[in-house]
Each structure stands twice: as structure tokens, then as C-alpha cells.
Amino acid sequence: MGEYMKGWWRYGSGFVFAGVLSLAMVSAASAQVVVAIDGDTAHATISLTGNNGVTYDADVTIIFDTPENLTAQSLNLTAEVVDPAAIQPRLPPGLCVLVILCDPPSVDPAFPVMITVEPIDFPWLFYSGFDQNEDGSGDLSFRNTYQFEVHTHDLPYTEGSLYRLFKAPVGGSFEDVTTDVLQGSMRARGRGGAFSQFIVTSDPRDQLLLSSAKIAELNLRILAAVIDDGLRLDLLALLAKVDALLLIDLVGALDALDQLIAAIEGGAGTTIANVWSAHHDVTNDAGEMDALAQTLRFSMNRSLGGAANP
């Protein structure tokens, strides 16, 4: 291929991409999803009308740690009204102590909105070595975790609310990622070290049983992390202490969990990889382990009858 053709492909491909991006923005606008960026924070205003003629409204706030190339285009946040029955197979089953506690999480028909965040990867567009386009956009990256909040007036807040924030790989199974549920209508918060689909559910599962399941999940994530074996053993020992104390000394278990969280956050960026990139060429071990530990903390605090972050 001659230099002229190479240049045409580079710039022609850019025009094609720009056209596709424009169509995506028009689609987002018609769906009434508006995204604005303010420093390290992304704000999305969502207003969707379902086939039943009902309009569902929400504000989504994502707060990042040290983001790069954070723009509405690179974030690529969309939302859609879903059928709660169609989502149910993607939700976890109930956890049984008594029959009455076996009900699984479910999507409230009052707010059947799924939010998808799929940051765009532009490897073919930025092959020159520069990670930004002329307009300042480019591949999104961030360190550690982001905080994700869904705030809606469509769901009421009550003390001890069962509403939770769930996330899933695109098309995959949803899991609880809640770190707080706050008043002001209903605000569900969670943390993540990677992006996915998000949905608010009502979750009646027993919090102690759920905590035990989350401990097992965090154990597997620590085993999968690319870290020094000595550090891995230290993290697993702290988690084992949490597990051992869970049913006999919840305050002590929370103290051990806080030590685990401090160890993960203390090693982030030095002994534990802590960067997420739209290139998907690195794994954010610190962010993903921290996010799991934080939602475990929420469930344990709910069992204790306290706030998520006392």
C-alpha cells in the first residue's frame, strides 16, 4: 500500500469512525441520556420511556481516581428500559435459612432501567503512539476504583432498604456491588475496578449468608491476582480471620476486613496492579479486590445493624 493510500486509510477511517460516533450520539440523545464531565466525575441524566408509556428518570454519578481521557465519548454510557422477567435469569438465586428467606433478588418494575458503561477502545485510530485525539478524547483509563451511584425518585427510600446496586459483564450474570444505600429518594452506591452493566434490584437475601458467599468470591479473586506469593498469603490470612469471626464476633470480623482493605489499598500501584484501561491490556487487581472487599463490608455492617461506612 502506497503512502497516499495509507494516509487515506488513516484519515478516511477517522471519518468513518466519526460518522459512527455521531450516529451513536444521536441515538443516545433520542434515548434521553445526557452525559457531562466535571473534572474526575461523570454525570449522566437519564429519562427513558418504556413501551407502557411510563417514563423512568435517574441521575448517575461516577467518581474516578486519577482518570485519563475522561470524556462523554470515551466513557460510552448508555441506558435502556428492560423487562424484569428477562433480567431474572441473570440474577443470583436466593440464599435459604428459612423458606421465607429464599426469595432471590429481583428488578422492581417501578425502575426497570439497565445502565451500560463500555468505554471505547481506539487502538487502530491512535497507532501513532499518541493516546489522545485532537479534541482531547482517547482511551479512558483510571486507577484503583470508581464510585458508581444511581439516584432515582422512582424508588422510595426506607430505613433498612432492600434496594441494591448490581453489576454484570455485558450479557453476563449480575452480582451485588453495593457499598451504601442512602436517602434522598433512593441512592444506591457501589465500587468497581472494571466496567459492566448496572441495575438496581430489591435483594431480600440474608446478609450473613451473603457475607459468607462474598468472602468465598474474594478468596477466589485474591488467588487469581498477579501478586507476590508472600503478599497473597498475607491477604488470604486476613480474609480467613474475617471468615472465622463472621458468626461469633462480627465487630472483630469487620476490624480484620478493614486491615485487609488497608493492605490492598496500601499495595495498590506498587505491589498490586491498580490501573484499568479501555485497551484491556492490564488487569486492575487492586481495584477489583478492593471493590469486592468494600461490598462485603456493606453486607457485614447491615448484619451488625449499622451504616455501611460508620
Q: Which of 5-9, 139-143, 208-212 shows the lowest per-residue confidence on average (mean pLDDT)?
A: 5-9
Residues 275 and 255 in one domain: yes
Please report whether residue 46 resides in a domain: yes
Q: How far is CA 24 from CA 18, 21, 83, 214, 227, in A?
A: 10, 5, 23, 37, 39
Residues 149 and 162 in one domain: yes
Residues 17 and 63 in one domain: no
Residues 200 and 213 in one domain: no
Please report whether residue 164 resides in a domain: yes
Smallest CA-to-CA distance from 91 within 103, 79, 106, 112 is with: 106
Residues 141 and 266 in one domain: no
**Overall average pLDDT of the 78-85 stretch:** 97
Please report whether residue 131 resides in a domain: yes
User: For residue 262, what pLDDT band results from cuts at 50, 70 and 90?
Assistant: very high
pLDDT at 138: 72
- Domain end residue (candidates: 180, 205, 230): 205
- Domain end residue (candidates: 205, 233, 260): 205
Residues 42 and 90 in one domain: yes
Which residues constitute the domain of residue 21? 1-30
pLDDT at 29: 34
- Residue 88: pLDDT above 60? yes
Domain total in the chain: 3
- Residue 294: pLDDT above 50? yes
Residues 53 and 191 in one domain: yes
Residues 46 and 188 in one domain: yes
**pTM of the entire predicted model:** 0.84
Q: Which of 1-15, 22-36, 70-84, 145-159 shows the lowest per-residue confidence on average (mean pLDDT)?
A: 1-15
Residues 137 and 227 in one domain: no
Please report whether residue 309 resides in a domain: no
- Residue 291: pLDDT above 70? yes
